[in-house]
C-alpha cells in the first residue's frame, strides 16, 4: 500500500469512527474535509482554538505539537506557567486563565467580599497577559447564594469597574463566561445572555465582554443562532460542546455546528472559537480533528 492510499484508508476509518459522515456530506466531501483538517491549511473563516482541560491525559507539550499539526493556532485556558510551552510551537493562548481566586467559578465578582482578592489577582496577572502578547482573560460572576439578579449586576459592575483602568492600560479584555445553572454549575449567576449583556452595559467599557459558551447556553436558554445575532456586540469569545453530555459536536448531539459557525461569521466576528468538548472515544486527537473539520466552514 502506498503512502497516499494508506492515508486515505486511515482517513476513512477516522471519518466513519468519529461519525462525521452522518452529517449531510457525501463520502468524497467528508474525506476531503477530514484530510484538510489533517493539514496545516484551514479555510480561514474561523480562528480555531482548543481548551486544554478537555485533554488532560495528554502532556501539554505533546498536545501543542498535535494542535500545530491540525493547523490550529491556539490552546486556551492556560496559566502563566504554561504559556512558554505553547510559544515554542508558535501557538497563542486565545483566552488565558488568571491565578488564585481569579480562577474561581463559584466565588466571583457578584460578592463584594471577593473584590479585594480578585482585584489584586487581576492587577497582577493582566500585565503578564499583555507581556505574553495576549489580549483577553477569563473571569466569572460567582454563584447567587440567594442574591437577586439586580444586586448581582450592581456588585459585579462595581468590582469590574475598578479593574477597567488597568485593563484599558494594558489592552486586555476581561471576558465573563456564560455558564448553565441547570446541569453543570448549579446556582451560577451569569447564566443568561441577557443578564450578561446588561452587565456589559453597566460596566460601559469595550474591555469587558462575554464568553458565549454554545454548550451552556443551549442547555440554559436555547435559541442559539438568534441569540448570537442579537447580542454579538457583547461577545468576545465562543466555546463549543455537544449537547447533551459535552462530548463530540457531531451527529450524536442536537446542534448543527456548521450553521452556528456561519451565523458567527456573518456577525463580523474575527476572534477565536474554542473547542471545549470532552472526547468520548479512544482517540482524543481524532475527535478534535473532527470538531475542527465540522467548524471549519468554507
Residues labelled as active-site residues = 177, 276
For residue 190, CA distances in Å to 106, 173, 239 come to: 11, 17, 15
Q: What would the 3-class secondary structure string for 57-83 be?
A: CCCHHHHHHHHHHCCCCEEECCCCCCH
- Residue holding cell 510559544? 87
* Alpha carbon 89 to its chain's center: 20
Edge-first strand order for the sheet with 74-76 is: 74-76, 47-51, 272-275, 235-239, 208-213, 173-177, 136-139
Q: What is the largest CA-CA distance in the chain?
A: 67
Question: What gap in Å lies between CA 298 and CA 289, rounded to an integer?
Answer: 16
Looking at the chain, how many residues does it have? 298
Is 283 within 8 Å of 267 (Cβ atoms)?
no
Work out the number of other CB atoms within 10 angstroms of the CB of residue 254. Answer: 10
CB 70 within 8 A of CB 38: yes
Contact 237, 271 (CB under 8 A): yes
* Residues paired with residue 175 on neighbouring β-strands, in sequence order: 138, 209
CA distance 180 to 141: 12
Alpha-carbon gap, residue 50 to 102, rounded angstroms: 20
Amino acid at each position: 500500500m502506498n503512502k497516499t492510499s494508506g492515508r486515505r484508508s486511515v482517513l476513512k476509518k477516522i471519518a466513519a469512527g468519529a461519525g462525521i459522515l452522518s452529517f449531510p456530506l457525501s463520502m468524497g466531501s467528508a474525506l476531503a474535509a477530514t484530510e484538510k483538517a489533517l493539514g496545516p491549511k484551514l479555510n480561514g473563516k474561523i480562528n480555531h482554538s482548543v481548551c486544554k482541560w478537555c485533554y488532560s491525559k495528554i502532556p501539554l507539550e505533546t498536545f501543542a505539537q498535535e494542535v500545530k499539526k491540525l493547523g490550529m493556532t491556539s490552546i486556551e485556558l492556560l496559566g502563566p506557567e504554561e504559556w512558554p510551552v505553547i510559544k515554542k510551537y508558535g501557538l497563542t493562548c486565545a483566552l488565558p486563565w488568571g491565578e488564585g481566586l481569579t480562577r474561581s467559578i463559584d466565588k466571583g465578582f457578584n460578592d463584594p467580599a471577593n473584590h479585594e482578592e480578585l482585584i489584586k489577582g487581576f492587577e497582577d496577572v493582566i500585565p503578564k497577559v499583555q507581556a505574553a502578547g495576549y489580549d483577553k482573560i477569563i473571569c466569572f460572576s460567582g454563584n447567587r447564594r440567594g442574591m437577586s439578579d439586580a444586586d448581582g449586576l450592581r456588585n459585579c459592575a462595581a468590582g469590574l469597574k475598578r479593574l477597567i483602568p488597568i485593563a484599558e492600560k494594558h489592552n486586555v479584555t476581561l471576558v465573563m463566561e456564560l455558564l448553565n445553572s441547570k446541569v453543570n454549575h448549579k446556582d451560577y449567576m451569569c447564566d443568561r445572555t441577557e443578564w450578561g449583556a446588561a452587565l456589559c452595559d453597566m460596566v460601559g467599557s469595550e474591555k469587558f465582554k462575554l464568553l458565549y459558551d454554545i454548550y451552556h447556553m443551549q442547555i440554559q436558554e436555547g435559541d442559539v443562532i438568534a441569540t448570537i445575532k442579537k447580542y454579538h456586540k457583547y461577545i468576545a469569545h465562543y466555546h463549543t460542546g455537544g449537547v447533551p453530555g459535552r462530548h463530540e459536536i457531531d451527529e450524536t448531539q442536537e446542534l448543527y455546528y456548521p450553521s452556528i459557525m456561519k451565523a458567527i461569521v456573518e456577525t463580523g466576528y474575527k476572534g477565536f472559537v474554542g473547542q471545549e468538548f470532552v472526547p468520548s472515544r479512544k482517540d482524543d486527537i481524532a475527535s478534535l480533528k473532527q470538531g475542527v473539520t465540522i467548524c471549519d466552514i468554507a
